[in-house]
Chains A and B, each alone.
Chain A
């Protein structure tokens, strides 16, 4: 099985910055980026198996016996939008349209919030453009009682679980209706009612906590699993290996996802991938590990369903690499043209998840361009209406916010004397 994403050559060092000549062969290897500004984006070296090519093993298959899947790529939708192969899920047209709608809704939301940040209405924002299929298809494949431990780029989970959009916006502008009481930066959502864990802001810390949550579920004999996400760059954090070892040791009912979107701010995935796939390292922990086309809604859905079934049958964890591409900057704080070639996103060979699912639905005569355009406009209008409602409860700069003294609440369950004293000192 071919291994994609090889980076075996050292980066060419700039003239003045050459490593000093040495009589020995020893030299520091610096991994290469897929592209840097001024270069022509080229993903032709990626080994991408055809849709339908990858086998689907029984859910009780041993990790080592199925290790090819850690180096392959589960794909269902081919270039013509046809669903083929053993992983094609049995989903009604209605469910597919639901998935498409959620993805389009997320994109409309991201676009609006990004623009509002540029106008100074939000302090910060992060889009998930090009990665919508991951959160949306995964949430649709899970049960409502399953606990989600997301990063900052899985806002789609909230759409599937029907969190009111206005509430998400109110959080992002820290107004009086923000369920996080003005304490967190935008996009670090928390929503207990929807079994969506509080996003920390520190990377990968919750990945291993998800395993603990799953261990408790097994301990109590419940049917709920935990599902956690981490980015390609964050796999470098030790928390990821804590998660893998505990998940493997206790066969915890957990799905551990790596969203490999190729970039960690300016740092390419080659600084974390060790020259092979991310899924490959799950096999070392004896956890069945699969690699999935993250821009293929059907493949993501099927893989998640497979992993969820394993968890619910007591077979333990699954490690899933979702192979995708971060089309936009890391956040509103960086300009990707400063560190990767312009147009790299257009060169990405696995396309756009919304376009691909749309094409599939049109192919099976369950959708049309006209319907698509109409829906895009409706969602845009919905978002505009939601935004207007959200700011009616207060804005970041003008308020109203939560009362300022509320910052002293929730540090402890009951406020100790020293905090009461400080609150008095604040004079409110």
Chain B
């Protein structure tokens, strides 16, 4: 925002208050009410206004208070934002970034826990990002803002304050954020100043030879812990950007290991894991030694009382790893 006066943040409670998850704290004081713009509660209206502002030269960064609240804006996103460049023959575009806290693990019930990334990767014309750590979040967010195409930027709310490794038995107080912190994590350090992480580039979190694990967001940490406790020599890839997908990183790894387990928190059917499985079999069919496994949320609305039974657990991840390794 220092670098480009045309960048502004807008959304419900993002201005004076600094956002319900404190993501825009201090921007109002530093940049003014017009650049940390509080809005009425109308996601469709916010989205439409952002599109118009983007067409007129600004770079709006919209906060949807929860990813679950994005649906009233979906016509504006799917029919307008995503297609504007294409339908106008390249005459108009709107470089909006939409930030949305997603995912469960905070006892948010069905309207504060969803992971709708698969809906947006299905729409042509949108880039879709989900970081798993603070260092990546900043670098990817700057890339998203500077990108001339619209980007849907999901922020897993479970890991705002620290990594979550999926050890649910130690959680108290309704499973809300426990005292984990990013300070001990290598990617918890966020440098001052401008840096970018290119959209469409995955990161290898852990190298391994026996099986490739594809994950993003909170699940990167859960998968990492599960792999560690299983003792399995798995290679863990954090996709970071879902679309455009870093297919090269994925295929290089799966061609090496010959096995693939996909993990996401979103519901299973037509989830992004389905797309990943299809891509992997297209690119790596003759290298595969076992069926591709998916560990996902169940095809039910996110249940308040059964968060941890819904959430892909260590147990389910390890079972999937063992199943794929059991096939010769």
Q: Which residues does chain B contribute within 8 Å of A11, judged by CB atoms?
A: 33
Judge if B16 is at the interface, Cβ distance under 8 Å: yes
- Complex contact A185–B107 (CB within 8 A): yes
Judge if A365 is at the interface, Cβ distance under 8 Å: no
Q: Which residues does chain A contribute within 8 Å of B45, judged by CB atoms?
A: 236, 238
Give the complex CA separation of A30 and B14 in angstroms: 13
- Complex contact A404–B309 (CB within 8 A): yes
Q: Which residues does chain B contribute within 8 Å of A418, judged by CB atoms?
A: 269, 299
Give the complex CA separation of A184 and B300 in angstroms: 13
Judge if B31 is at the interface, Cβ distance under 8 Å: yes
Which of A28, A233, A338, A402 meets B41, CB within 8 Å? Answer: A233
For the A-B complex, the count of residue pairs with Cβ-Cβ distances under 8 Å equals: 157
- Complex contact B107–A30 (CB within 8 A): no
- Complex contact A407–B17 (CB within 8 A): no
- Complex contact A20–B5 (CB within 8 A): yes
Whole-angstrom distance between the Cβ of B107 and the nearest chain A Cβ:
4
**Chain A, 15-44, contact with B by CB distance < 8 Å: what is the 0/1 string?**
011111000000010100100100000000
Q: For chain B residues 101-136, which have a beta carbon within 8 Å of chain A?
A: 107-112
Q: Which residues of A come within 8 Å of B, CB atoms?
A: 11, 13-14, 16-20, 28, 30, 33, 36, 120, 122-124, 174, 178, 182-185, 188, 200-203, 233-234, 236-239, 264-267, 271-272, 333-334, 338-339, 396-397, 401-402, 404, 407-408, 411, 418-419, 422, 426
Q: Which residues does chain B contribute within 8 Å of A33, judged by CB atoms?
A: 16
Given known A183-B109, A426-B309, contact A13–B33 (CB-CB < 8 A): yes
The 9 closest A-B pairs by CB, nearest first: A17-B32, A182-B305, A201-B111, A266-B17, A236-B40, A185-B109, A123-B174, A123-B107, A174-B305
Given known A17-B29, A339-B17, contact A120–B173 (CB-CB < 8 A): yes
Given known A20-B5, A120-B174, A188-B109, contact A183–B269 (CB-CB < 8 A): no
- Complex contact B309–A174 (CB within 8 A): no
A-B pairs with beta carbons under 8 Å apart, 17 shown: A16-B30, A16-B31, A17-B36, A30-B33, A30-B34, A30-B37, A120-B173, A178-B305, A183-B109, A188-B109, A202-B72, A234-B41, A236-B40, A236-B41, A239-B72, A339-B17, A411-B301
Q: For chain B residues 255-297, which have a beta carbon within 8 Å of chain A?
A: 268-269
B interface majority secondary structure = loop
Closest A-chain residue to B39, C-beta based? A271
Q: Which residues does chain A contribute within 8 Å of B13, judged by CB atoms?
A: 265-267
Give the complex CA separation of A233 and B13 in angstroms: 11
Whole-angstrom distance between the Cβ of A288 and the nearest chain B Cβ:
25
Whole-angstrom distance between the Cβ of A410 and the nearest chain B Cβ:
9
